[in-house]
Amino acid sequence: MTISKIFAPAKVNLTLHVTGQRKDGYHLLDSLVVFADVGDRVTVMPATVSKFEVTGPRAEGVPTDETNLAVRAAALFDVPVHIVLSKHLPTAAGIGGGSSDAAATVLALSEITGNTRLPEGVTGLGADVRVCLLRHAARMRGIGEDVAPCSGLPPLFAVLANPGVDVATPAVFKALPNKANPPMPKRLPQGLKTRAFIDWLASQRNDLEAPAIAHAPIIADVLAALTALPDARLARMSGSGATCFALFETEQAAQNAARLVADQQPDWWVEPARLS
């Protein structure tokens, strides 16, 4: 019996520029996306009757019906399978947990069925699913359909922190006063050392940060805590929040900083991560 086990990494928006809004309400983005070495795990097994279960340290409250993107992703293949989602990432957190789970489910079912072509409807699962299928540094534009791999990024080490509040993405977008902001430069820098690349990132933005803080003021506390960490070069929010990240030049600095934050804020979700 074929069993497919796929890692579902956390997605981190190093930048997120909101560059416009279409007539149908969808927002246009220009975002540099990377993936962390922390995430969920998806196991898919053939079955006579479809079954979906959620386990793991962050399983509480995760839906097991069709509102879960992984369930919807599996339904696109129309074959009975048993899916076990081991949940390690916080939900509604701005790090693409649900989209990454859906992408991992698609990859697992493609492996089991031997169908290497993506089924119709994959992109309709959510704006982040296409980039999560790539699972590598990428520039994401449009409404998420324009994904271009990015090479030449230096090693990046981070502390990810989430204070345990859910942030509704539609509410954050709705609160953004200006929907037409400048995009990133046409050409992104390549070949920079880690420090220089982080300095360049500091000149870019997450346009959703201010409206997210207005919606959930504790995000400002997370950013302040990360900014104050020894050797932190940049602190920023990912996606629509509430997860934030701090970037460091070395893995050891990130690990030391993560321990410090976890000690100071035992109720927060805190993880050191390598981003790529």
DSSP characters over 171-194: HHHHH-S-S------SS---S--H
DSSP alpha helix (H) spans, the chain: 69-75, 97-113, 129-134, 169-175, 194-202, 209-215, 218-227, 251-264
Q: How far apart are CA 29 and CA 240, in angstroms?
A: 12
Confidence band of 198 (pLDDT split at 50, 70, 90): very high
- Quick one: tokens of 248? 């460091």
Helix (H, G, I), strand (E, B) or coil at 124: helix
Shared-domain flag, residues 199 and 137 = no
**How many structural domains is the chain composed of?**
2
Active site residue 78: no
Active site residue 11: yes
- Quick one: tokens of 2? 């074929």
Shared-domain flag, residues 220 and 115 = no
Residue 6 corresponds to which amino acid? Answer: I
Domain final residue pick, 109, 126, 147: 147
Global confidence as pTM:
0.97
Shared-domain flag, residues 17 and 65 = yes
Residue 273 corresponds to which amino acid? Answer: A
Each residue's pLDDT tens digit, 63-88: 999 999 999 999 999 999 999 999 99
Shared-domain flag, residues 119 and 158 = no
What confidence score (pLDDT) does residue 123 get? 84
In the predicted model, what is the mean pLDDT of residues 117-132? 92
Residue 266 corresponds to which amino acid? Answer: P
Domain final residue pick, 100, 118, 147: 147
Q: Look up the domain containing 45 and give its range.
A: 4-147
- Quick one: tokens of 71? 């369930």
Residue 23: which residues within 8 A CB-CB, separation 6 or more? none
What confidence score (pLDDT) does residue 1 get? 60
Q: Which of 11, 30, 87, 207 is catalytic?
A: 11
**123-127, 139-143, 210-214: the lowest-pLDDT one:** 123-127
Domain final residue pick, 129, 147, 165: 147
What confidence score (pLDDT) does residue 114 get? 92
- Asked if residues 60 and 111 have their Cβ atoms less than 8 Å apart, the reply is no
Q: Evaluate if residue 154 carries a pLDDT over 80.
A: yes
CATH number at residue 87: 3.30.230.10
- Asked if residues 211 and 172 have their Cβ atoms less than 8 Å apart, the reply is yes
Q: Which of 78, 128, 193, 267 is catalytic?
A: 128
Residue 106: which residues within 8 A CB-CB, separation 6 or more? 73, 76, 118, 119, 122, 129, 133
Shared-domain flag, residues 12 and 137 = yes
Higher pLDDT, 150 or 120: 150
Helix (H, G, I), strand (E, B) or coil at 257: helix
CA distances from 258 to 157, 185, 196 (A): 11, 32, 23
